[in-house]
Amino acid sequence: MNGLPDLTFLRALAFGLLLAFLAIVPPARAGDAAFARFIASLWPEAQAAGVSRQTFDRETSGLEPDYKLPDLILPGRPKTGAPAQAEFVQVPADYIKEASIARLATEGQKLLQKYRPALDAIEKRFGVPAPIVLAIWGRETDYGRYALPYDTLRVVATQAYVGRRKEQYRTEFILALKILGEGVVKRREMTSSWAGATGYTQFLPSEYYKHGVDLDGDGRVDIWHSVPDALASAAQQLVNKGWQPGVRWAYEVKAPANVDCTMGVPEVTRPIGEWLHAGFVPVRGERLSAAEQAQQASLLQPEGIYGPAFLATPNYFVIKEYNFSDLYVLFVGHLADRMTSPLPFATPWSASTQLRSADVEAMQRHLTQIGLYKDKLDGKAGMQTRAALGAYQKQAGLKVDCWPSETVLRSMSAAR
């Protein structure tokens, strides 16, 4: 022995390391070839949608899937769902932070002046208040300061190939190509969220064609560079989903001590005047007009019987169509209000803790089995889940607070 390593040993070691590496790194080439064939197969659909061959070839050349995206179904890999959005896993106090609201409201007040002509035109044409569309812009991309991290075309192509909603994203991919072919935005500027939402106000390509508005009159709908176009498009989307001019998004109220929180579902609506007669009181003591009292509203208690309570108008649920989360709507609505009033919510958020999504989903499954819940098993404590929890608490002789807690979870576990 001369102290040097044996060459046979080194070769064996290198071969073993290579095998180990291959075992943990998927063979991307084979998968990419199949992906390339899939993309090529979409040419007839793209052509039918008005995409030129030149655009199709240019934008799909070298296009590769992004297998790190969430919400994909990949052979040999654990199933993953969409990432846990803050709207669905944070308690209200963490999501609707006063510091964030105050900062965005201050900036929004400046933008109200900066874009006053465009905002006046939006209000006149669509009946959507300027602060509402600004608040959507502020929440979606921090008034354009947040750089969306993904390549939109790559995202929608990957989701069309191995996502959970292949048919939807097949359409989104075709329409993304159509947008690029029209030359409104360059590929490097057409960035998005992991789900393919792009532009100042985060539209999917299909939403761009459904709701896009050329407000600045330059002959094209540009939600990536034109603030008037982006805000008008957001307003058009709200109108297309049922926005009612002259109706507030919600009224914060103090609920009576004997409130039945199980009524807090969209299906239970009453004229606001009836809610007031039942003991609900506007928190600022304002006197509502006869027209306001005639408006239909639903009870909203985001933390069950804890924290603020609201009478949610139909416009509340229109904003919810933009992002299906009560906290999102509360953030947007409150931010809009704060652009014209310095007052925070009158009732502070409680210190409620949020259970893990898996625990909330287990509750939903149990509530479904006993006939108290008929909505999605998604691990999100929305209005339907909170009302069903309250109904369960009534049956089980527990405190009725319509909030997913460890106490309710233990009760359900013991009942199985």
Taking only the tens place, the pLDDT of each residue in 354-387 is: 788 899 999 999 999 999 999 999 898 999 999 9
Per-residue confidence (pLDDT) for residue 75, from 0 to 100: 81
pLDDT of residue 395: 96
The reported pLDDT for the residue numbered 343 is 94
The pLDDT assigned to 18 comes to 44
- In Å, how far are 223, 354, 367 from 304, measured between CA atoms? 38, 12, 17
Whole-structure pTM value: 0.88
Instruction: Enumerate the H helices of 61-165 as residue ranges.
Output: 86-89, 92-95, 98-114, 116-126, 130-141, 152-162
Q: In a 3-state reduction of DSSP, which class is residue 56? A: helix
- Where b means 16+ CB within 10 Å and e means fewer, 157-176 reads bbbbbbbeeeebbbbbbbbb
51, two tokens: 């995409």
Measured between alpha carbons, how far is 207 from 363 in angstroms, rounded to an integer? 34
Domain 357-415 classification at class level: mainly alpha
Q: Which residues, including other chains, have CB under 8 Å from residue 36's CB and lie 6 or more apart?
A: 63
pLDDT at 32: 86
**CA proximity to 45, closest of 146, 134, 154, 167:** 167
Alpha carbons 90 and 280: distance in angstroms, whole number: 27
Q: Which residues of the chain have pLDDT under 70?
A: 1-31, 77-89, 351
Structural domain spans, the chain: 250-312, 357-415
* Among 200, 196, 250, CA closest to 82: 196
Predicted pLDDT at 333: 98
